[in-house]
A and B are shown apart, each in its own frame.
Chain A
């Protein structure tokens, strides 16, 4: 049962423009959400997180938005850079999954010149 879903397997964006990655979840007990970036044959790198008591968290070029009523979060990257080309994973924890992360399937981002 996939509790965290990333429905877009890939995203292509032009350098300098905004990248918007989406993530939906089904478990209303989730209260902590994270985004990770992953290059091939490497471990995921933590990007940004958000607690359910907030609806927005910003760190440099990365902003995460959380819509609890819609069980939806998104990651905005602006401006997009070639080094941002990677797979981005959304993850969530809380409730029965407290302490464990449930991962989405990932979205491959390609930033073109």
Chain B
């Protein structure tokens, strides 16, 4: 149980385009989803917290207009990187938490984004 999927697993795009990443909880309802970013050889950095049916809460320093988050259902959250630039190239990982799992977060496999 507690499986989280992400799509796509890898994406290459041109500078200036927008990229959408999907995060799905496959076998449980996720009241809260989180989006992280990981740079090489560094820890996971929380970008935002997404609650179903409400606006996402962004961490300090994360541009909400650049990283659009939508949590339209209890099993799906999307992160859209708008007008992507090379510095947005990174590994993006989502996690999901349900009321039944307490504070444990279950992570997706991650999405590698490369902006040319």
A residues engaging B (CB < 8 A)? 32, 34, 36, 41-46, 49, 89, 93, 98-101, 103-106
Residues of A within 8 A of B104 (CB): 34, 46, 49
- B42 adjacent to chain A (CB < 8 Å): yes
- B87 adjacent to chain A (CB < 8 Å): no
Are A105 and B46 touching (Cβ within 8 A)? no
Residues of A within 8 A of B46 (CB): 100-101
A47 CA to B4 CA in the complex, in Å? 15
Query: Which of B12-20, B74-82, B107-115 touches A?
Result: B107-115
The interface size of chain B toward A, counting residues with CB under 8 Å, comes to: 25
Residues of A within 8 A of B4 (CB): 43
Q: Which of B91, B102, B107 contacts A41 (CB 8 A)?
A: B91
Residues of B within 8 A of A45 (CB): 107
Given the interface contacts A32-B102, A99-B49, A100-B49, does A43 sit within 8 Å of B107 by beta carbon? yes
A93 CA to B103 CA in the complex, in Å? 8
